[in-house]
Amino acid sequence: MTFSPELEAKFADLVTHYPEGRQRAALIPMLMFGQEEVGSITPEFMEEVGKRLGLNTMQVDEVVGYYSMLHKKAMGKYHVQVCTNVACLLRGGAELYDHACHKLGLGHKEVSADGLISLEEVECMGACSWAPAVQVNYDFHHEVTTDQLDTILEGLKK
């Protein structure tokens, strides 16, 4: 598998950030950046990253399986993440998530048939004081009401 020039540049820079011989440290950032580009953590991608960092596929697999933001299965183009952890729960996070489920017809970590939208109930994402919070890909939405969520979701479909 080949990397895009951007990912290639990112990789080249990243490995210089860590002490000599400890380039494995670049693994998780590479997986995160690569996932954005590739769409998911594919076997080819794992193999390629592993090869560059001197790891076999199993070693990469061990890491991929551990982190909840790394997905082997592609999520939607827009990954809608609704927090239901305590601070959000207290301000309607659970209802918001239910609303999203119904609205999208999707459950936890499910992807719409057209691959456009996926939904995930997530743990606290650091927006507690502005709860309930939703993240679409990396964009935060604070103090989201069900109406606002509808607007956000409508916006994605355009």
Partner 1 sequence: MALVNVTINGVQVQAENGALLIEVAKQNGIEIPAFCYYEGMSLQAACRMCLVEVEKAPKLMAGCTLPVAEGMVVRTESEPVVKARKTTLEFLLSNHPLDCPVCDKGGECELQDMTFKYGVGESRFTEIKQHVPEKQWSPVVFYDAPRCILCYRCVRVCNEGMGVGALGISYRGVNAEIIPSNGDHLECDECGSCIDICPVGSLTSGIYRYKTRPWEMEHVGTVCTHCSNGCKTTLGVRNNEIVRGNNRDKSGINGEFLCVKGRYAFDFTQHPERLQTPLIRNAAGELEEASWSRALKLVAEKFKELAGPDFGVIGSTRTTNEESYLLQKFARTALGTASIDHHRTGDVVTLIDALSGKTGQLATTEELYTTKAVLVVASDLSQQQPLLANKIRANVRHHKAAVYAVTPGPVREDKIARKSIRVPEADSLAGVEQLREQLSKESELVIVFGDAIQGDKVRQLVAFGESLGIPVKYIALVDYANSRGALDMGVLPDLGPGYHATAPGRSLQQMLDDPKLAALWVVGANPLKGGKSLASTNAFVVVQDLFLTETAQRADVVLPAASAYEKNGTVTNVCGQVQRLKRGIETVGSKADLAIIGLLARGMGVNLGKVDADAIFAEIAASVPGYNQLPMPVILTGGAVQTHPVNGGVPPSSVPGIIASARDTLFTTGSLTRYSKILNEVLEKPGALYS
Partner 2 sequence: MKLFNEPSPLETKIISFRFGLENSASIDTYLANDGYKALRKALEMTPDDIINEVKASNLRGRGGAGFPTGMKWSFVPRASEKPKYIVVNADESEPGTCKDRLLIQHDPHQLIEGCLLGALAVGAKKGWIYIRGEYNYLIHIMDKAIAEAYNNGYLGKNICGSNFEFDLYTHTGAGAYECGEESALLESLEGKRGVPRIRPPFPAVSGAFQSPTLLNNVETFSSVPAILRMGGQAYADLGVPKSGGTRLVCMSGHVNKPGVYEVPLGFPLMKFVNEIGGGVWKGRALKAIIPGGSSSPLLKAEECDIPMDYDSIAKAGSMLGSGGLMVMDETTDMVKVALRIMRFYQHESCGWCIPCREGTTWLKKMLQRVSDGHGQTRDIDLIGDLAQNMMGRTFCPLGDAAAMPTIAIVKKYRNEFEEYVARNPFASPELVSIA
* CA angle (40, 126, 153) in 5-degree steps: 55
Q: Binding partner of residue 107 among partner 1, partner 2, none, CB under 5 to 8 Å per kind? A: none
Question: How crowded is residue 49: how many other Cβ atoms within 10 Å of its Cβ?
Answer: 24
Residue showing tokens 């594919």: 42
SS3 9: helix
CA–CA gap between residue 78 and residue 56 (Å, rounded): 31
Q: Is residue 55 close enough to count as binding partner 1 by CB under 8 A?
A: no
Q: Is residue 66 close enough to count as binding partner 1 by CB under 8 A?
A: yes
Closer CB to partner 2, 121 or 149, in the complex: 121
Q: How far is the CB of 31 from partner 1 (least distance, A)?
A: 14
Q: Is residue 56 close enough to count as binding partner 1 by CB under 8 A?
A: yes
Distance of CA 12 to the CA centre of its chain: 23
Q: Is residue 57 close enough to count as binding partner 1 by CB under 8 A?
A: yes
Among 8, 13, 44, 62, binds partner 1 (CB under 8 A): 62
Q: Binding partner of residue 57 among partner 1, partner 2, none, CB under 5 to 8 Å per kind? A: partner 1
Task: Say how many residues touch partner 1, by CB under 8 A.
Answer: 10
Q: Which amino acid is it at 82? A: V
Nearest to 81 by CA among 31, 35, 141, 130: 141
**DSSP structure string for 140-158:** EE-S--HHHHHHHHHHHH-
Among 13, 18, 22, 65, binds partner 1 (CB under 8 A): 65
Closer CB to partner 1, 56 or 151, in the complex: 56
Q: Which residues bind partner 1 (CB under 8 A)?
A: 43, 56-59, 61-62, 64-66
